[in-house]
Structure 1
Amino acid sequence: MAKGTLNLRKARILVTNDDGIHAPGLKILQKLAKTLSDDVWVVAPETEQSATSHSLTLRRPLRERRLGAKRFSVDGTPTDCVLIAKHQIMRDCPPDIVLSGINDGGNLGEDVTYSGTVAATMEAALLGFRAIAFSQQRQPDGSVRWKVAEQYLADIVRKLVAMPWSKDLLVNVNFPAVAPESVTGIEVCRQGRRDQGTTVTEGEDPSGRRFVWIGGYQADDSRDEDTDLAVTARGGISVTPLHLDLTHRDTMKRMRGIFG
């Protein structure tokens, strides 16, 4: 069932990420969230949890630390943080919306399946909350400039919560590595797929032992123009609605014909 629109001024916002409680992107997201609502909570991993995907910590106890008013760290994954926020830290006052990020680097195409930033919003959607993930692409030299996110993020949130929100929906937003005045627009698009995948590099350590190192993608290339990869490559902000139901319905129909 779809939810109605959300009054942000009266909303309780949970902010989290996968880069850790001290990450610059989290501080910026918290600051921007406070322009939307006076009731902003932060529950984020104690240390960096990039590429942890939708993982849970099951075989050891978790500890939370209070760092200030409505500000907590958890020695676990982004998914752990959302769960602990809901069931412990904010159990008497659950959030109306979960904002995750701002990630240091894009979460485009296949990244969605690995990203802790996106995983936090997946968990939020499973728990019945509105959820939006934000990521900022890096510059060619590897640095991150946050100006595009700072200028556009709050208005994107306002527009998204003004629409009805379907069950199991999350939204993935990526900001391009351009100056704010060079942004070509905000485009709603689908999740892409890179033409080349993740690289694996082979090497040798100083003691002569062989190792392999999983590296990054070759490039954010895509032959399809209506994808998050293509939108950010041409300087646009990509907004991609994602859904938790991974069922491939056409194949399900064919399988029913096979199995009777």
Structure 2
Amino acid sequence: MHILISNDDGVYAPGLAALAKALQKDAESVCVVAPDRNRSGASNSLTLDRPLEAHTHDSGFISINGTPTDCVHLGVSGLFSAERRPDVVVSGINAGANLGDDVIYSGTVAAAMEGRNCSLPAIAVSLCSFHPKHFETAAEIVRELVQRLESLVLAPRTVLNVNVPDLPLEEIKGIHVTRLGHRFAGEAPVQTQDPRGRTRYWIAGTGEPADSGPGTDFYAVAEGYVSITPLQIDMTHYSGMDNLALWLEEMN
């Protein structure tokens, strides 16, 4: 299996190194293409206003002066020979959870989504602490998942969003298949003034969980379980199509 690894925390992030080290144990090849700096919150953005540069580090990792989506786009279609085209994209290990509405903004999830046209489901993995200690736990769990991917039957273009409690591996209670929960709206931006008197704004933190009961990703992680949520790229709200059609008929 050929694996492409990326992230949104940047090429020097410890979670990236831990993930690569674990997946190299079993894969035919592992290629790492990651942003040259932290690009958390970049979502699915592509860089279209300038060319991108690739730099190969002593570790063999490649950094791109762009977004996580840029990295995977180049890794899948531009940087490597056809013989090394990845079968799967794994994104992470993110320092911090990507639960519920977080997936809308997450560069970690976006990198996995850009791998949607590979032959196997893409994986986004996050460790649920902003100061994580147990990257090896998440790395080993993802390694086991990747080993079994070829026997997984899912619709094409599916992404697995994996969130791991920041615990030693032996304290993980198991793995739950979950749905996305939801958060309350985030706090208002923090207004500041710079030394020249100009008003600036810091985007505030995410809102607290609003829908976090049993069956959600929030609940599983809080109870000490790994959460896996299958995400689909098709964002069509099929159940709303009939009501929308009737509404439009009433306008005629």
Q: TM-score, normalised by structure 1?
A: 0.86
Query: Could you list the runs of 5+ residues in structure 1 that have no partner in the other structure?
Result: 1-10
Q: Cα RMSD over matched residues? A: 2.1
Distance 2:63 2:246 in 1: 51
Q: Which residue does 1:211 correspond to in 2?
A: 200
* CA deviation after TM superposition for structure 1 residue 63, in Å: 0.7
Distance 1:257 1:64 in 2: 51
* CA deviation after TM superposition for structure 1 residue 206, in Å: 5.1
Q: Which residue does 1:180 correspond to in 2?
A: 169
Distance 1:16 1:162 in 2: 23
Q: Compared with structure 1, are the counterparts of its residues 184 and 221 closer, same or farther at alpha carbon in structure 2 (3 Å cutoff)?
A: farther
Q: Which residue does 2:55 correspond to in 1?
A: 65
* CA deviation after TM superposition for structure 1 residue 192, in Å: 1.1
Q: Which residue does 2:66 correspond to in 1?
A: 76
Secondary structure at the aligned position of 1:84 is classed as helix
Where does 1:7-26 land on structure 2 (aligned, <5 Å)? 11-26=1-16
Q: Tell whether the 8 Å contact from 1:44 to 1:81 is kept in structure 2 after alignment.
A: yes
Distance 2:198 2:49 in 1: 31
Query: Could you list the runs of 5+ residues in structure 2 that have no partner in the other structure?
Result: none
Is the deviation greater in 197-206 or in 51-60?
A: 197-206
Task: Give the counterpart letter for 1:134 in structure 2.
Answer: V
2:216 is equivalent to residue 227 of structure 1: yes
* CA deviation after TM superposition for structure 1 residue 35, in Å: 1.7
2:29 is equivalent to residue 39 of structure 1: yes
* CA deviation after TM superposition for structure 1 residue 179, in Å: 3.3
Q: Tell whether the 8 Å contact from 1:17 to 1:116 is kept in structure 2 after alignment.
A: yes
Q: Which residue does 1:100 correspond to in 2?
A: 91
Q: Which residue does 1:3 correspond to in 2?
A: none
Q: Tell whether the 8 Å contact from 2:22 to 2:140 is kept in structure 1 after alignment.
A: no
2:135 is equivalent to residue 144 of structure 1: no
Distance 2:120 2:212 in 1: 34
Q: Which residue does 1:5 correspond to in 2?
A: none
Task: Give the counterpart letter for 2:26 in structure 1.
Answer: L
Distance 1:179 1:98 in 2: 25
Q: TM-score, normalised by structure 2?
A: 0.89
Q: Which residue does 1:130 correspond to in 2?
A: 121
Q: Deviations over 1:40-59 (max 9, x none)?
A: 11111111111000000001
* CA deviation after TM superposition for structure 1 residue 127, in Å: 5.8
